[in-house]
Amino acid sequence: MKILIVDDNPINLKFLYYSLKRFYEIETASNGKEALQKLEKSPSDLVLMDLAMPIMDGVQATAAIRNSANKKISEIPVIFVTTNDFEHEKQRCFDAGATDYMLKPIDAQTLLAKIEDLLQPQYVKM
């Protein structure tokens, strides 16, 4: 299983990368535009998306993911991982197609549990 981590902060990228690399194949991107380019080349199974980034923010990138003609891309679960605790921003993320929303600092075990739940096969979910 492959996860794409999208964040412009190198410290956040490293934390998420090292928290998940034992369990998943990890790819990283520093903005939404780069993330879309990587997904077009090789879709991931899940995206961890920061909200505020240069060039293309997380909301714009998530909307583009959801509007993709490629079903392997448009149906990818997107979990926002952000410091933004404003309700209107959270709603923007869900309106764009977010699957879930987590506030930084992230607890690695909680994140792993969310990812495992989203990536387990549909027939196993109840």
Report how far residue 20's alpha carbon sits from residue 115's, in angstroms, rounded to the nearest whole number.
10
Q: Is the pLDDT of residue 3 over 80?
A: yes
Report how far residue 101's alpha carbon sits from residue 125's, in angstroms, rounded to the nearest whole number.
20
How does the average pLDDT of the chain come out, rounded? 93
Q: What is the DSSP letter of 60?
A: H
Domains in the chain with CATH codes: 2-119 (3.40.50.2300)
The pLDDT tens digits for 43-53 are 999 999 999 99
In sequence order, which residues have a C-beta less than 8 Å from that of residue 36 and are 6 or more positions away? 56, 61, 64, 65
Q: Is the pLDDT of residue 122 over 90?
A: no
The pLDDT tens digits for 63-102 are 999 999 999 999 999 999 999 889 999 999 999 999 999 9
Helix, strand, coil % in the chain, rounded to nearest 5: 45, 20, 35
pTM exceeds cut of 0.75: yes
Report how far residue 48's alpha carbon sits from residue 82's, in angstroms, rounded to the nearest whole number.
10
